[in-house]
Amino acid sequence: MKRPWLGVLSVAAPAVILLLAGQGCNRTMPAAAGAQPAKSAAWTAPDPSTIPPGPAGDSIRLGAHIFEETPKYAQAFVGNRLSCGDCHIQGGTAPWSGPMVGLPGLFPMFNERAKRVISLEDRIQDCFQRSENGRPIPWNGPEMIALLSYIQWLSKGQPAGVAFHGRGLEKLPDLRGDAAAGATVYSQQCAGCHGADGAGKPPILPAVWGPDSYNQGAGMNQVKKMAAFVHHNMPQNHPGTLTPQQAYDVSAYVASKPHSPFHEPGK
């Protein structure tokens, strides 16, 4: 099943309105009760008419395609069936789901996992190797340029160096997840979309464990990070209805399931 706006985006920029409004993409979910708007006071979604003609605009549109259908448009660099938009929802504009807006103005930055300052290109590479269970895309290749172009275009109007509202993931208290309790939460709240076997129905419903999902090195494989994502964004039809403890429990359950090993490049 294809996302309605993707087929149009390559030839008609106005379809991007649906992406940014969160209404034309199958990944879009209703706003949680009391959720903050998906933009800060200083930012509004860029006007699709600002996508330039020619190669520059083509690159932005390619970046949007890669973002939402990564295994199709960056096939050579993906080792599973996940796409960027599975975690960075609403085309990378939704708060508390790792939004892309404003990132070009925040990088380079220190990365705790890498213990060094990294560039935005480094961070994209990291996602391909971990969340996509794949390999690095060429630094100057069309895929990298397209993703950077798309993120830069999304960030129009966001002041450089100012974090976008809802940047990163929601802040939850430190809790201990109970995988056994999480099995019940998963069965009742998650299996309907992601399957009892965690395999989902890619590319629409992502796998949460197994060969089609992220590997052990992905941020989503960390219970605390997954709990923050789940609490704010899941379940898809009733986001924000799980308690923090339930989010931790179901995340512990998913983390207890098989995920492909992560192999550090060059090692």
Residue 264 domain-assigned? no
> Would you say 210 and 200 are in contact if contact means Cβ atoms under 8 Å apart?
no
Both 74 and 138 in one domain: the answer is yes
Residue 225 domain-assigned? yes
Both 135 and 244 in one domain: the answer is no
Backbone angles phi, psi at 55, to 5 degrees: -60, -35
> Would you say 190 and 250 are in contact if contact means Cβ atoms under 8 Å apart?
yes
pLDDT band at 267 (very low <50, low <70, confident <90, very high): low
| Owning domain of residue 54 | 4-154
Both 24 and 140 in one domain: the answer is yes
> Would you say 150 and 20 are in contact if contact means Cβ atoms under 8 Å apart?
no
What total of structural domains would you count in the chain? 2
* DSSP, residue by residue, 5-54: HHHHHTT-GGGHHHHHHT-SSTT--PPPTTPPPSS-TT--PPPGGGSPSH
Q: pLDDT by residue (tens digit) across 63-78?
A: 999 999 999 999 999 9
Both 197 and 65 in one domain: the answer is no
Both 134 and 243 in one domain: the answer is no
Cα separation, 39 vs 213, whole angstroms: 29
Q: pLDDT by residue (tens digit) across 152-208?
A: 999 998 999 999 999 999 999 999 999 999 999 999 999 999 999 999 999 999 999
Both 110 and 34 in one domain: the answer is yes
Instruction: Say which CATH number the domain at 52 has.
Output: 1.10.760.10
Cβ-proximal residues to 22 (8 Å cutoff; 6+ apart), any chain: 28, 38, 90, 91, 93, 94
Both 216 and 132 in one domain: the answer is no
